[in-house]
Amino acid sequence: MNEEKAVDSYQNLGPDEILNAIESTGLECDGCIFALNSYENRVYQIGIYESEPVIAKFYRPARWSDEAIREEQEFTIQLAEHEIPVIGPLVNDNGETLHQHEDFRFSLYPRRGGRPPELDNPEHLQQLGRFMARIHNVSGAEPYQHRPTLDPETFGTECNIFLLENNFIPMELETAYRTLTEDIMKRIYQCYDRAGDVSIIRLHGDCHHGNILWRDDSPFILDFDDARMGPAIQDLWMFLSGDREYMTERLADLLEGYSEFRDFNMSELYLVEALRSLRIMHHSAWLARRWSDPAFPMAFPYFNTQQYWEDHILSLREQAALMDEPPLEWNRY
């Protein structure tokens, strides 16, 4: 497939192309299409004649290989086989989960409703801890073969270089940004050194409250599109926010549940603020890399303004200070 043509087709994906793609799988659409809140991929709720709607995810070209997408989907199927509540892809009669129609790669998912978890609710956090431990027990059994590792080089250094080389940083802030990010990266590597040798396992990778649905008094996890290898704490720290005292209390709830099903390496707590810093830098680079997609300037008008970069630099300065503090503590007994 011509990559440039595929990207152009993707950016101009319209109702006719969507319906034709879905009906190529043998489903009969009723013509109802509802766009869902997604930017990296195009995601729609599709009405199906005399049946429940399905969720269609159209994959952004040139991001993941077919092998990487199938590997992520196979992982969710593994989780379901272990009776872990996960919203995985629909499998057709030929055992396929990834479909191709003209220039478009897509998958279909069942529609599931729910509400976000209550991250200030100790019971919810304990359940989330048990839930993530069960996922990690499965994910730790074997590595991804076609997906990268979340590390400081790819989520930090490469992102900073991209922003500088492509002139996203305003000239008057460039020196401050360059100096600060060099210092931030040193501190991140120091955090990794303090953590020592931590296990690298298959991750969800983007495990925040928006990717958890609470239904029937238990969590369901969805959207493994950012799945990659990394330390277990990456799938836990995004449930923590607020000041140090508040995060310590929430961490205790989370790890109380987690430790019921899986041992937690306390050394990984040295990585919490390092991973948060990497996420901040990676997010800005992600927006910059997608800025040529017309959907992004409309969805993120604040990005690439003077104020955005000033706030970004301020956030990184705050992270630099946080990485100098001792890690969060969990006093189990």
**Which of 103, 151, 206, 225 is an active site residue?**
206
Cβ pair 319, 280 in contact under 8 A: yes
Q: Catalytic annotation on 206?
A: yes
Strand, coil or helix: 110: strand
How many whole angstroms separate alpha carbon 103 and alpha carbon 24? Answer: 13
How many whole angstroms separate alpha carbon 97 and alpha carbon 158? Answer: 32
Q: Catalytic annotation on 226?
A: no
How far is the CA of 119 from the CAs of 116, 251, 327, in angstroms? 9, 11, 20
Cβ pair 13, 57 in contact under 8 A: no
Upper half-sphere CA count for residue 32 (Cβ side, 13 Å): 12
Closest CA to 255 of 129, 140, 135: 129
**Which of 103, 151, 223, 225 is an active site residue?**
223
Both tokens assigned to 258: 């987690």
φ, ψ (nearest 5 deg) of residue 229: -85, 150
How many whole angstroms separate alpha carbon 270 and alpha carbon 280? Answer: 17
How many whole angstroms separate alpha carbon 7 and alpha carbon 58? Answer: 12
Cβ pair 169, 163 in contact under 8 A: yes
How many whole angstroms separate alpha carbon 214 and alpha carbon 266? Answer: 28
- Please give the positions annotated as active site: 206, 223
